[in-house]
Structure 1
Amino acid sequence: MIHYDLNCAEGHRFDGWFPSAAGFEAQRDAGLIACSICGTTQIDRALMAPNVSVARSDKGSVADTPLSPDQPSPLERLRKEIEANSDYVGLRFVDEARAMHEGRSEARAIHGEAKPAEAAALLQEGVPIAPLPFIPKRRQN
């Protein structure tokens, strides 16, 4: 398939895919290609930049380079940062977050566990919470 940028006689620009250059010309000459804006069948190819493939390097990308076993992953570093700077409240998370939001408890950084419906209810109440991209360490195998 060949991709062409096309122009109509009114100057509208659009694109089309064709099986070959000859296929485009045959469809155009038969009046099968029409501008979707004005409906004219006076269509021609527009000047377009060539689609040039870039050579691929044999070197892997940074993402392909495995981390050394001694180096923690970015997710593990995030986990350690959160665990070091907040209190784990476990299954009491919903009650603790709501109490802090309502002023019944001292505000502090917490993390814990909540069911999806409970988290949705907190968000509807305006309690600022966010899901964490990891499972608590004590719940991992």
Structure 2
Amino acid sequence: MIRYALRCEHEHGFEAWFGTSTDYDDQVARGLVECPLCGSHAVSKQIMAPAVAGTKKAPSQPDLARMQTMMMQAAREVRSHVEQNFDYVGDAFAREARDIHEGRSEKREIYGEATPAEVKKLKDDGVPCAPLPPLPPAPDKLN
């Protein structure tokens, strides 16, 4: 297994594991590698130091598969909870989040879309917000 440090076009950093370096190339070409924060498929490898083998035993393939399944289920449950219990405000998310934060709109849980620049401005101004996990890929799109 190879762990790559990756970065999307929006400068979100994350890591991903691949069986071989050619697996990474193949999955990127097929559009299977995406940023877990924004869903962008414009992903590139970052420079990282090689891992030095130690005495720790790497997880077995069944353990990795089980962990992946658990993480995808958790992402589905989080997203489902938000969609069922929060108000969807579409592309007005940044404005509505700011209005709620500043007391100009009723306090409630919301979700919607915002550009990376809008999210940065909200965070810079102390308005709490977090990305909604993207829907995990369908089982037939998994590598």
What range is the shorter-chain TM-score in? 0.3 to 0.5
Return the TM-score normalized by structure 2.
0.46
Bigger helix share: 2
TM-score, normalising length from structure 1? 0.47
